[in-house]
A and B are shown apart, each in its own frame.
Chain A
């Protein structure tokens, strides 16, 4: 079936890619455009909007909050993910499908529901909203992604590697540190980067749970109402895309390396959708 594709299908593929890329291509155009109005035609080249970002204090606070939340979320969801992925990949126990399925539920739950559920609890408990409440929500939605990534890392690992280590006199803990951990480290890095990126970009839950510790997307949401702030937001968006791009490429590199290390070449693509 890998003969030449019909012309109509190829044309469609190209048009579809244009559709997919249309918004992203505009981002750098307007980020460097020397005009306060976001519209074509472009008027000139400027770094002005980036300079404006440098001078906006509220933005820096939002950035700090977002980074803090993203780092803690990444560590939290990856830690939970390691437990769940190892259990799912290596052991059989009653109710396994149900338990794993339940942990994966946020993947198909509208984010607003997660936001609503958590805010209800926090209000009832009388807790005030802060960066920590956002972290709770973000860990919830990032853990399924961490599990998916780590599970493929754990699954791909030949079980006889662990047995070989035990057979050669190593203890269970020694085996974990000398064999299992080195082999899934790329998967762990990949999981950290992905959950960091998801948390950094997440808006809906953050908007519900953020309180006074505004995150970057919530800050952007506030700015979208003011046309004068938009070019700077374009510049900010451009920076964020560049960062996400870099992080996700790094994550992808590590995920592939994880698959290569664990000796599985055939299942190296498709990532979380296996």
Chain B
């Protein structure tokens, strides 16, 4: 389990939080720390509790059990209007009866600041999100991307300790979403504020975040860096949620301090790096990412392990081709992704292919 190096590094601490809505358990004992200045993501399928957790940080929901600390003070029962957090809503929640400047200045007006200062800070905030000169624009005349920028400016102008983003990109089309991903990342570095993002899109989480908490069924399944999650998923469920992974049943034949010897069903023996939990005789599963498998084109191509199979389907993505290969004499299908470099024609369905992989690319799951 990862722990922050220094206690005062934390901006948010969530301790043993549970939340029930009637008979439904939305959060089932969640504890986590978010570090100051990091881009943190809560990732999971819908209904996993990630939005509830975000709403608990913002103050819209309160935990049935457990506590929420922000900036070192207990905020568990503090209402949202008294918390040092601001939120970008999924629907952006732009006030339809106010123009852009009035939307952005909404929170400052409550603070009874002089109009000059409000105007100056609204202009600054609009500049920050590349919307200079949009102040007088009516809010219903904005595009989806512009609405999102207004929502960002409106939240950032409050100088929050933490900016919360609830699926902020899900309403945008693919192209715009990709642009906004990198802009959000840049914006976060510029302002230096802690961002907490809720998303169900693993690609979005991987590209933007410093750390990600993957959630299933109201619990944190794994908390790690994007690379850690992808390379060292702790469960099969995490592995298949983050990217694609092939699972093959296997049995442990022998183990040394550093190596495990496995008998993989249909494929034979392989050696992998040892894990302390697993003993000889255990039934386990091995996981291999599609890009760690290679289709061997020439007779001369070599790999640690080679098996043959038949291509059942091929999906062409331009830079990549994804093959589904049925392993010979089995009913196991594996996904193989190949970069389309020169000398690698796209193989047709029905072709026999040799597939190879290296031992270091294998993840072992108990059970």
Contacts and interface: CB of A to CB of B under 8 A. Distances in A.
A contacts B: CB pair < 8 Å: yes
Interface of A: 158, 160-161, 163-171, 174, 178-179, 182-183, 260-263
B95 A179 contact: yes
B93 A163 contact: yes
Contact of B110 (A160, A163, A168): A168
Interface string B137-173: 0001000000000000011001000000000000000
B111 A169 contact: yes
Contacts of A261: 96-97
Given A168-B110, A169-B110, A263-B96, A160 B91 contact: yes
Given A170-B107, A174-B110, A164 B81 contact: no
A261 B93 CA distance: 12
A137 B87 CA distance: 47
Contacts of A182: 97
B263 to A, nearest CB: 55
Interface string B76-96: 000111100111011101011
B58 interface: yes
B297 interface: no
Interface in B83-119: 85-87, 89-91, 93, 95-97, 106-107, 110-111
A161 B151 CA distance: 11
A168 B154 contact: yes
Given A160-B90, A261-B97, A165 B106 contact: yes
Given A163-B60, A174-B110, A169 B81 contact: yes
CB-based closest 9 A-B pairs: A168-B107, A164-B93, A160-B93, A160-B89, A166-B80, A182-B97, A167-B87, A166-B81, A169-B81
A22 to B, nearest CB: 42
29 contacts: A158-B91, A160-B89, A160-B90, A161-B93, A161-B95, A161-B96, A163-B87, A163-B89, A164-B87, A164-B93, A164-B95, A166-B59, A166-B80, A167-B58, A167-B80, A167-B85, A167-B87, A168-B86, A168-B110, A169-B110, A169-B158, A170-B81, A170-B107, A174-B110, A178-B106, A183-B96, A183-B97, A262-B96, A263-B140
A35 to B, nearest CB: 54
Given A163-B60, A164-B87, A165-B106, A171 B93 contact: no
Contacts of B79: 166
Nearest to A181: B97
Nearest to B83: A167
A171 to B, nearest CB: 6
Contacts of A179: 95
Contacts of B93: 158, 160-161, 163-164
Interface centre among A163, A174, A183 (most CB of B within 10 A): A163
A176 to B, nearest CB: 13
Contacts of A166: 59-60, 79-81
Contacts of B85: 167
B309 to A, nearest CB: 50
Nearest to A168: B107
A163 B93 CA distance: 8
A182 B96 CA distance: 10
Contacts of B95: 161, 164-165, 179
A264 to B, nearest CB: 10
A262 B58 CA distance: 24
Contacts of A171: 81
A94 to B, nearest CB: 12
B82 to A, nearest CB: 8
Nearest to A163: B60
Most chain A Cβ neighbours within 10 Å, of B82, B87, B95: B95
Given A163-B87, A170-B81, 18 more contacts: A161-B93, A163-B93, A164-B93, A164-B95, A166-B79, A166-B80, A167-B80, A167-B81, A168-B155, A168-B158, A169-B81, A169-B111, A169-B158, A174-B110, A182-B97, A183-B96, A261-B97, A262-B96
Contact of B86 (A158, A167, A263): A167
A168 B111 CA distance: 10
